[in-house]
């Protein structure tokens, strides 16, 4: 049941009045990492939240209760399917409930500014309209389960490099037309119950340190009445109580301690009314999610693996896959003519279910491409495999052969308050592998030394490869002999937490006998991540690769298998070590050191039937594209990724995905080149130099030149063919929020297979006399996806209003629509070759309007 605002606030204001000032102050920040405070005296319960946008992880970051992993939002965006986005949102709500959480920290709707964005996979698209449209459906599905969506990260969290301290210079026009737009669409169309503020400074100030964004824009202009929480550690000042930030996350409070709030009250920097407003927002969220009613208790986390979720994940994953090349119709695979398939590449046996960071979780299960092929085709064709390239950034955790002192698999961590591991530890934990962290573990707060131990029995003797690192100063001993000594803290604490740190690498001669492994580590003395949550934490990583695996010539093996195969299918891309929250990518090339590109080129040279499946959340350079027969972009498709990919390769699912991003040939061709990510590492400054010319809005000015895009936004092939014809237009653009333009067209399946086509409508602004400011050549104003049987024909309709024609007039501080002739393009991508018909709509007189 969705309650109207009046119903929500009825009685809650009285409840606020009954609270003491100290109880109110307590409610301004969370109790711990995931839960708000309760006030038992008044029957106010706590509320649990959970990451994240593609799966409800629950309370443990690494080894918690298993959960369903859905496709990443960029994969969902590639479906261009509103209904599917709503279904995924609904299922995520059901998943959150199994973790006792009634707030999900998603979706992420920041626009993709650069192909190097480390967290792009977690967001939908470079296009604000597509992002806002699909995010709105996601939110509606989620909140239909009475689980709050948390739309994030408001605002301008497009890069992860220095995100805690970077200052971003962004024009008001770019903010309004690109970066605020998807948030505005979701706020107005889906009424999300929560927003999350971001870390970066915008034009010199944090979002929560000014009234502009959380009060003036979000609440006053857009009429938003929900809760705003901070990103974890992003609350920058106690004055954020005045500037519209309702809840500081996580707890306990850092900016909003009782002392700080009382002092700010006394000095008049915040008011009692400000505090009441913030507390009321939290109480409203409790009411919306049922915490005052049938959900008073926080149940124990459960792992419920629903068959209907499995099916939805598989369908959404396959529908998001984009077929970008298919020479001679090599796909779908003809099993009648295929006797031997070589599955090659470092991701053939890796299930690229999700990216790294907040979107990661412990899946119920994960299906790799090799798993899917072996299960479904193992008795029909001969399947061979070689990884072909090593792409380790950090060696995998050591686990096999490890037994702790309690006789259980894994390691034992002993925590001491002293500067050395003497006496009895105050706490002991067991870990299944060679890594641990104290972050988010309140039981070990304040530990000054941790001893991490195991007995290791090598499966086979050899001079095996070890990698070692600690968040703070750390030492590694084998049989009481010092093997590695990291004398200072790791340079990037957040990078360490996310598993992408630099490490000490050694080889050690193991024989067929047990070895004692002991690690001693201490907290990092200062926060090298610029985030206070990482202060005084202890973490360790011990990685291991057998000598035989590391020194085996996997490239030669892969080429030999490719020569003998009817089809060579290469699975390449990024793992969570390479594409993750916390770090942006250093280049558009596949990792590592050219090994994957070399593998593809070598295989294509010996087998003309080479198919490449890329699993990344971003575009990559394709130096081998002309030499392969087929190329598919699979994104991060969730726990069913292997099955989703095979469904498309076999033709059991006809590809219908469309690129939600532009695919540059090189990073240097992008509008933000030199002004993104690592370019700002030392300066902590970045300028959005491209303004409103983001993605295809930039590449539309490059057609026919050196910087022409590789694949345009909205592009994607099919196993069947479509004809789009008979486009018609009705209505007008007017200074009336209810006034609409309706564009209709007929779509016919002219091929031999059932499939789906997405008709995209773009609006061209007037040129010449009607061009008040420089504007992009066009912008997406609507889309419609239609499924058709062979020979079937259906009509589709796209509706848009004045918002689609408007630009932000910086001088007037309002939206403006110019007079003149607007081109209405009916297309199947943003590329000029895919424009099917061009219509015109006239605006007789220009006008301005409020948001």
Catalytic residue positions, numbered: 231
Strands 449-456 and 411-416: antiparallel
Question: How many other β-carbons are positioned within 10 Å of the β-carbon of residue 287?
Answer: 19
From CA 670, how far away is CA 697, in angstroms rounded? 11
Asked if residues 182 and 131 have their Cβ atoms less than 8 Å apart, the reply is: yes
Strands 205-206 and 227-230: unpaired
Query: Please, is 1 exposed, middle or buried when counting C-beta atoms within 10 Å of its C-beta (0-12, 13-18, 19+)?
Result: exposed
**Which long-range CB contacts under 8 A does 590-595 form with residues at least 24 apart?**
590/614, 590/616, 590/620, 590/621, 591/391, 591/393, 592/389, 592/390, 592/391, 592/392, 592/393, 595/389, 595/390, 595/391, 595/555
Residue (of 355, 542, 524) closest to 439 by Cα position? 524
Query: Please, is 111 exposed, middle or buried when counting C-beta atoms within 10 Å of its C-beta (0-12, 13-18, 19+)?
Result: buried
Which residue is it, tokens 């002004």? 675
Categorise residue 554: left if φ over 0, alpha if ψ from -120 to 50, beta otherwise: alpha
Residue (of 602, 568, 567) closest to 389 by Cα position? 602
What dihedral angle (degrees, nearest 10) is formed by the CA atoms of 392, 161, 112, 150?
Answer: 100
CA atoms within 13 A on the CB side of 132: 22
Question: How many other β-carbons are positioned within 10 Å of the β-carbon of residue 791?
Answer: 10
What dihedral angle (degrees, nearest 10) is formed by the CA atoms of 290, 292, 295, 297?
Answer: 150
Query: Which 8-state DSSP code applies to residue 583?
Result: B
Cis amide leading into 250 (omega within 30): yes
Give the relative orientation of helices 307-320 and 641-650 as an angle to the nearest 10 degrees. 50
The residues near 499 (Cβ < 8 Å, ≥ 6 apart) are 356, 394, 541, 576, 577, 580
Tokens of 693: 């010319």
């Amino acid at each position: 049941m969705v309650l109207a605002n009046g119903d929500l606030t009825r009685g809650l204001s009285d409840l606020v009045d009954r609270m003491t000032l100290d109880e109110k102050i307590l409610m301004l920040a969370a109790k711990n990492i995931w839960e708000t405070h309760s006030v038992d005296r008044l029957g106010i319960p706590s509320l649990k939240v959970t990451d994240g946008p593609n799966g409800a992880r629950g309370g443990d970051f690494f080894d918690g209760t298993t959960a369903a992993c859905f496709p990443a939002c960029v994969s969902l965006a590639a479906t261009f399917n509103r209904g599917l986005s709503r279904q995924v949102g609904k299922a995520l709500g059901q998943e959150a409930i199994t973790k006792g959480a009634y707030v999900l920290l998603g979706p992420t709707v920041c626009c993709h500014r650069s192909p190097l964005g480390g967290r792009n996979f977690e967001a939908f698209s470079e296009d604000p309209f597509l992002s806002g449209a699909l995010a709105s459906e996601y939110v509606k599905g989620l909140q239909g389960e009475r689980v709050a969506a948390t739309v994030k990260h408001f605002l301008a969290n497009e890069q992860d490099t220095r995100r805690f301290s970077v200052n971003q210079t962004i024009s008001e026009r770019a903010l309004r037309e690109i970066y605020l737009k998807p948030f505005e669409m979701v706020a107005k169309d889906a009424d999300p119950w929560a927003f999350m503020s971001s870390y970066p400074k915008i034009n010199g100030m944090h979002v929560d340190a000014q009234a502009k964004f959380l009060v003036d824009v979000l609440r006053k202009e857009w009429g938003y009445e929900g809760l705003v929480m901070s990103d974890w550690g992003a609350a920058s000042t106690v004055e954020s109580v005045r500037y519209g930030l309702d809840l500081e996350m996580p707890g306990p409070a850092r900016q909003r301690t009782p002392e700080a709030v009382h002092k700010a009250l006394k000095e008049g920097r915040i008011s009692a009314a400000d505090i009441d407003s913030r507390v009321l927002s939290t109480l409203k969220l409790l009411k919306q999610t049922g915490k005052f009613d049938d959900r008073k208790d926080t149940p124990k986390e459960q792992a419920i693996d629903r068959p209907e979720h499995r099916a939805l994940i598989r369908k959404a994953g396959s529908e998001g896959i984009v077929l970008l090349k298919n020479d001679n119709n090599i796909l779908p695979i003809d099993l009648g003519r295929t006797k031997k398939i070589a599955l090659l590449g470092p991701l053939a046996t890796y299930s690229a279910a999700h990216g790294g960071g907040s979107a990661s979780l412990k899946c119920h299960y994960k299906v790799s491409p090799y798993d899917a092929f072996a299960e479904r085709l193992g008795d029909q064709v001969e399947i061979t495999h070689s990884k072909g390239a090593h792409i380790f950034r950090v060696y995998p955790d050591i686990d096999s052969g490890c037994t702790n002192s309690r006789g259980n698999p894994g390691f034992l961590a002993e925590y001491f308050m002293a500067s050395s591991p003497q006496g009895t530890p105050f706490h002991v934990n067991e870990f299944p592998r060679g890594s641990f962290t104290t972050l988010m573990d309140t039981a070990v707060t304040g530990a000054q030394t941790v001893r991490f131990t195991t007995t290791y029995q090598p499966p086979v003797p050899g001079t095996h490869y070890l990698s070692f690192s600690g968040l703070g100063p750390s030492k590694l001993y084998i049989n009481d002999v010092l093997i590695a000594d990291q004398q200072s803290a790791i340079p990037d604490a957040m990078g360490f937490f996310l598993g992408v740190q630099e490490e000490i690498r050694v080889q050690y001669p193991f024989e067929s006998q047990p070895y004692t492994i002991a690690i001693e580590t201490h907290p990092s003395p200062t926060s090298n991540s610029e985030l206070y949550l990482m202060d005084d934490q202890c973490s360790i990583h011990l990685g291991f690769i057998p000598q035989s695996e590391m020194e085996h010539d996997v490239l030669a093996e892969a080429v030999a298998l490719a020569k003998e195969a009817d089809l060579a299918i290469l699975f390449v891309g990024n793992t969570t070590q390479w594409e993750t929250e916390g770090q942006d990518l250093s280049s558009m090339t596949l990792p590592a050191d050219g090994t994957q590109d070399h593998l593809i080129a070598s295989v294509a040279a010996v087998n003309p039937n080479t198919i490449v499946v890329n699993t990344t959340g971003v575009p990559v350079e394709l130096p081998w594209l002309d030499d392969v027969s087929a190329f598919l972009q699979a994104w991060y498709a969730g726990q069913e990724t292997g099955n989703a990919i095979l469904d498309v390769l076999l033709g059991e699912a006809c590809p219908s995905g469309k690129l939600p991003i532009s695919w540059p040939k090189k990073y240097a061709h992008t509008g933000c080149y030199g002004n993104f990510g690592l370019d700002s590492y030392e300066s902590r400054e970045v300028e959005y130099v491209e303004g409103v010319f983001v993605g295809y809005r930039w590449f539309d000015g490059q057609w026919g030149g050196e910087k022409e895009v590789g694949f345009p936004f909205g592009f994607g092939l099919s196993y069947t063919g479509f004809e789009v014809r008979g486009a018609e237009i009705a209505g007008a653009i007017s200074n009336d929020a209810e006034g609409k333009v309706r564009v209709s067209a007929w779509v016919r399946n002219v091929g031999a297979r059932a499939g789906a086509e997405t008709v995209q409508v773009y609006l061209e602004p007037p040129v010449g006399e009607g061009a008040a400011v420089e504007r992009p050549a066009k912008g997406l104003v609507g889309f419609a996806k239609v499924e058709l049987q062979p020979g079937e024909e259906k009509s589709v309709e796209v509706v848009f209003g004045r918002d689609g024609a408007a630009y932000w007039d910086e001088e007037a501080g309002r939206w403006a629509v110019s007079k003149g002739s607007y081109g209405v393009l009916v297309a199947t991508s943003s590329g000029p070759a895919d424009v099917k018909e061009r219509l015109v709509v006239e605006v007789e007189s220009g006008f301005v309007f409020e948001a």
